[in-house]
With several copies, the nearest count.
Chain A
């Protein structure tokens, strides 16, 4: 967040492109956020209990988790397509008057 713009100017001679690092870093954050939300969502669907009587994932939970990952990923693709379809308009129109 800090070295954008001004940052590239103050880059050391070691020839690091902070632009590039920045982009990779944002990508990493996005994947991590996606992953964390998938963990929570699939826990709610497959593992959540009102009381935990043991610490193992039983067979049913394991199968549920595996399918949940696949399904979550499909939802991500589908929503991505929807957003892309109207993305330009949406993004251009944002900024809510700032």
Chain B
């Protein structure tokens, strides 16, 4: 996105808006990973503690989600850069 049409006061304000949204996105990603990894990994409700099998699954699941999101982020940024370049031609 291009905020160059904004004056300094607006850009400063926009920076705050973006920071807030990044915080919210981060928290949303967090609760999403919890939900998804819980749903996939936890199926034993004979105790309230995680079994070691569930523990392993959750750890790996979270790890994979993070790497997955990161990779998508990189590819998506590349795609946006390409599209912006194409627009300027």
Q: CB within 8 Å of B: which residues of A?
A: 1, 4-6, 14-17, 20-22, 24-57, 61-76, 78-80, 82-83, 86, 90-91, 93-98
Contact = CB atoms under 8 A, between A and B. Distances in A.
Interface in B64-87: 64-73, 75-81
Contact of B27 (A30, A49, A62): A30
A69 B79 contact: yes
Given A78-B50, A91-B26, A94-B73, 4 more contacts: A37-B34, A68-B48, A82-B63, A93-B73
Contact of B45 (A50, A67, A74, A93): A67
Interface of B: 1, 3, 5-7, 9-10, 12-14, 16-18, 20-43, 45-50, 54-73, 75-81
B12 A5 contact: yes
Interface of B is mostly: helix
A27 to B, nearest CB: 6
